[in-house]
Chains A and B, each alone.
Chain A
Amino acid sequence: MTEYGRLVLLIGDYHTPQRKADVPSCFKELLNTDKIGMVLCTGNVGAQSVAEQLRTIAGEDCHIVCGDADHDFNFPETWVTNVGEFKVGIVHGHQIVPWGDDNSLVKFAGKLGVDILVSGHTHRNSIVELGGKFLINPGSVTGACNAVGEFDITPSFMLMAVQEKSVVLYTYELKEGQTEPEVKMNELKR
């Protein structure tokens, strides 16, 4: 436990090498840290090496769920875990049609019985509070195009700092033409 609480990495939708060559180098530098205690990955890791690399970040506490392109892996469809006093569920999101629909996601969070639902697939990062649930999408860490054919994706991932009753989310985005990421902070309170 650090004084900032335990850092949880929310990341996913790599699609390397299918849709993007690699994670932006500035992200790689940021992720090269020993401060991350848990990894929650929304899937679509692309290559075996990505999954292996994710496991080196936080060791055992690395949970990857099955994306639509992860048929070569043996990831579970969903994963539920406790972070601080929050119950966090994770799902890739292609299973929930229509994609990225907040009402459907809230119901899915209810189904899993979680306070926070982390999902991906749309490749657009977002934080929504709806129906007593927090819906979090860390976006695509490589900025890969999404399933609906949008290519203007901003690479992003999130770090979640958890203290007992509050969660602070740091969204790292690499805007077009920039070399350094922008950081946004959101605090979630029950």
Chain B
Amino acid sequence: MALVSNSRDEASILAEAFSFVAEHRFYLRKAVDHGDFYKAIRHSLSLANELRSSQLGPQSYYKLYSMVFVELQYLGAYLVETERHGFSLDEVFEIVQYEGNCLPRLYLLVTVGMVRMIAVPDATDEILQDLDDMVRAVQHPVRGLFLRYFLLQAVKDKLPVLQSGMMGALKFLLGTFKEVVILWQHLRVEAKAENDAWKLDDHRFSLRLLLGAHLMEISRLEGLTTALYAEVVLPELLNLVPACEDAAGQAYLLQLIVEVFADVYHLDTLEKILSTCAQVHWSVDLKPLTQHLLRRLTSFLADSSRSGDGCAEISPRDVFGFFHSHLKQLHGRPRTSATPLSSLLELQLELCMYVLALNTGQDSCMELLQSTVALLQAPGVPSPLEPKLAEAVVDLMAAPLTQESLASAVLAMPYHKSLLAMMSRKMQARAALAVVSALLAGDVSMRDCETIQNLFALTDTLLRDETGRDLGEDLRHLEHDPVVFRTEQETMAQLIHQVRQDDPKMVFEMLSMLWEYFQQGGPHRIIYTVPAMVAAVLQLVGRLGSETSDQAVEILDFTHTLCTSLGTLAPQESVRLWLLSAACADKVAAKAEKVAELVRRISSSIDNVLICLDQYIPEQEARLRGLQLMVGTLRQMTVGLEEDDLKMICGRAVALSSKMLSKRYQSKAFCLCCELYWLPHLDFQDPDRGLLCLRRALQSADGAIHSDPLDVGLFVDILNEVIHLFAEGASQVSAVLLSKILALCVQHVKYIGNRVPQESMRALRSAISSLAAKQKESMEAVMVGDVYIPYLEIDLRSAEQLPTEPSVKTFVT
């Protein structure tokens, strides 16, 4: 209640003062209009007299001050016109000097002084000195602060004409700033609660900008150099810091210095300002100030190094040194709610970002990590670290690993291990993931086994289930959260591709080492890592020269181990991996010496594919996809298989096809198998069995349309297969055969009439039109004397029986 009534009082006092000022404002203007000099002075004094109020709070006082300020400016403009009022400025000065109360008189004297400075620039120094001495008389904090502020506003644009030059101005500004700080300090109200000790009280907070205004003028002085700043300005300012008796005031003053002056000044005086900071009472949170300064200098130095004009006086490495010792000093201060451990860790991270942004080298990064470890190993730090602290540590661990130049060196040091040991298993897993993600984010290569060992010492939580210890409820949840688990394992799989080295032997060694680690993770982990391992290992095959068959065999045997380990865990993936190894083996066989060894590997891979398809992939769709991939892979080979092996494979593939439950899939599978009998790169083809296979495809298709006539598209698929074989000149695939199958398709399509699926109809039409186009081409070839005319023997007449194509193409909109 007391507060409310107080504020109402203040409001009414302010309103009263406003009306009083407004009244005198009226008379002042009237007096000026009438040329009544004395009246003008008197009313101005009455106006200014209102500022004597001691009942107004700083904000109300500021409103009143602004009003009076405007009027005094008006008076000033009148006083300049000496002819109008008939008094010389010296006379005006004399007159005002003996008037009324101290405060209004001083406001008027400053106004007159300002006018005299304009009229007699030569006397500026002397007048300024007088005014400076006079305003000293007011020691009431609020009145004094505003009077000083008034003086500053009155004289600031006259400072450049001082005869004592820039130094004179500087001296004046520093002097007046000192007075202002002392006055401001008197405003201080004792903090009520212990916890608020580091906060500015409301009064000082609301008038803090008056301090800033003075300091701004210093920073704007023309001719202020870094040397002058370092030798004169800063020492003076820092001397004021202890003058603030309380920590909050000191901190604010430092903050002001940091904010007002340019980065280049701070760089030069970093040691001084930081050591003063560190002396500020321990109850003050220095994080915002330090963070602010560090961020500013980081971007300043980064910009200047980018633009090439680096600061010669101080290297980024030295800046790091200053900050680092500053932080270490902060670590030594008593821990309070104002300087919690989390703040200190944030500052460590901030400095780490500086190190990364400016490339200050490995040493600085190591020093920083070392001091972090020391900070956390100090007595009183909870173990394991609370999640929030651990989170901060995780960030700090990850940051340096995004840089190639730092990563392996950092991992080689014991710091990350020590940091990890301070966390709970849950946070360890988080840290491990962050570490790996950082490496990936920075696209950091892993170039030696040591780095891998060091890294994997940190990521144990991701690689293995926890054994031996009873899991807490939350841990168990994490270990079995499928989404988190999947992300973790996929990230580990990504890591495999970061193994890079010019020497394939070393890569092989590193990958073997990775496999040692991954193997321990159990089947639910390796399904993520094996595919990436296989791809990474097979990449090596491509890099081998022609004389390195032995190595190729060794590599292929390794992939064999990898694929075997996947076994029945992910049969569809296994199929793809076996096929990829077979394809790679074929690629290397094409240029290698010991072809037989490699061909044996191809054959055994395909063998495994068939086992997978037969035993572990019962779903027809997946099985068909597997067959597609197998046929596709064999089709693209250049060396391929031995005749006997191929025969066996063909036989098994056909057997597999006939095992399909639905006729539809059977037909598709047989149709695919036809390819295997006419593989273009082999000189042993088996047209008889091929045609048999084709017939079985037709039989199955026939069976399929009996249960569902809409499967008529199967015939078109077979037609396309035959067209393809015909185009390749496959033996025994004659024009007669093709014509027959075409006629069969047309017959079936006609039979089911309107119910033919659009897709099948379109497929048939495009098959026919491609044949027609080929015939036309052949015709033209005959005209120019070419005798090779297989296409001309195809009988397309059956196609004429198809219903006519709709002439207008309709688009779905």
Q: Is the CB of A112 within 8 A of B490?
A: no
Quick check: is A103 within 8 A (CB to CB) of the other chain?
yes
Q: Is the CB of B766 within 8 A of A110?
A: yes
> For residue B765, which residues in chain A have a CB less than 8 angstroms away from its CB?
110
Q: Is the CB of A18 within 8 A of B635?
A: no
Identify which of A71, A101, A103 contacts B770 (C-beta below 8 A): A103
Quick check: is A180 within 8 A (CB to CB) of the other chain?
no
Q: Is the CB of B494 within 8 A of A21?
A: yes
> For residue A25, which residues in chain B have a CB less than 8 angstroms away from its CB?
443
Which B residue sits closest to A146, measured CB to CB? B583
Q: Is the CB of A99 within 8 A of B636?
A: yes
Q: Is the CB of A22 within 8 A of B440?
A: yes
Q: Contact flags (1/0) for A57-87 with B, using CB distance below 8 Å?
A: 0000000000011010000000000100101
**A147-B758 in contact given A106-B766, A152-B542 (Cβ < 8 Å):** no
CA distance A21 to B494 in the complex (A): 4
CA distance A18 to B538 in the complex (A): 12
Choose among A21, A25, A106 the residue with the greatest number of B CB atoms under 10 Å from its CB: A21
Which A residue sits closest to B765, measured CB to CB? A110
**A17-B766 in contact given A97-B631, A147-B629, A149-B584 (Cβ < 8 Å):** no
Quick check: is B458 within 8 A (CB to CB) of the other chain?
no
CA distance A87 to B308 in the complex (A): 54
Quick check: is A49 within 8 A (CB to CB) of the other chain?
yes
Quick check: is B708 within 8 A (CB to CB) of the other chain?
no
Q: Which of B737-775 contact A (CB under 8 A)?
A: 758-760, 762-763, 765-767, 769-770, 773
A190 CB to closest chain B CB (Å) equals: 12
CA distance A157 to B766 in the complex (A): 29
Quick check: is B727 within 8 A (CB to CB) of the other chain?
yes
Identify which of B587, B635, B762 contacts A113 (C-beta below 8 A): B762
Q: Is the CB of A21 within 8 A of B497?
A: yes
Range of interface residues on A (Cβ < 8 Å): 35 or more
Quick check: is B19 within 8 A (CB to CB) of the other chain?
no
Quick check: is B46 within 8 A (CB to CB) of the other chain?
no
Q: Is the CB of B636 within 8 A of A98?
A: yes
Quick check: is A148 within 8 A (CB to CB) of the other chain?
yes
Quick check: is B459 within 8 A (CB to CB) of the other chain?
no
**A149-B580 in contact given A95-B628, A110-B762 (Cβ < 8 Å):** yes
A161 CB to closest chain B CB (Å) equals: 20
Choose among A106, A111, A113, A131 the residue with the greatest number of B CB atoms under 10 Å from its CB: A111
Quick check: is B622 within 8 A (CB to CB) of the other chain?
yes
Q: Contact flags (1/0) for B556-581 with A, using CB distance below 8 Å?
A: 00000000000000001100100110
> For residue B491, which residues in chain A have a CB less than 8 angstroms away from its CB?
17
Q: Which of A32-59 contact B (CB under 8 A)?
A: 47-49
Quick check: is A4 within 8 A (CB to CB) of the other chain?
no
CA distance A113 to B812 in the complex (A): 12
CA distance A131 to B282 in the complex (A): 82
A121 CB to closest chain B CB (Å) equals: 9
B-binding residues in A (CB < 8 A): 15-22, 25, 47-49, 68-69, 71, 82, 85, 87, 94-95, 97-99, 101, 103-104, 106-107, 109-113, 131, 144-145, 147-152
Please name the 5 residue pairs, one residue from A and one from B, whose CB atoms are nearest each other, closest first: A110-B766, A149-B583, A111-B763, A17-B493, A149-B584
Q: What are 14 residue pairs bridging A and B, where the CB atoms are less than 8 Å apart in the complex?
A: A15-B535, A18-B535, A69-B573, A94-B632, A97-B628, A98-B635, A107-B767, A109-B766, A110-B763, A147-B633, A147-B636, A148-B587, A149-B538, A151-B539
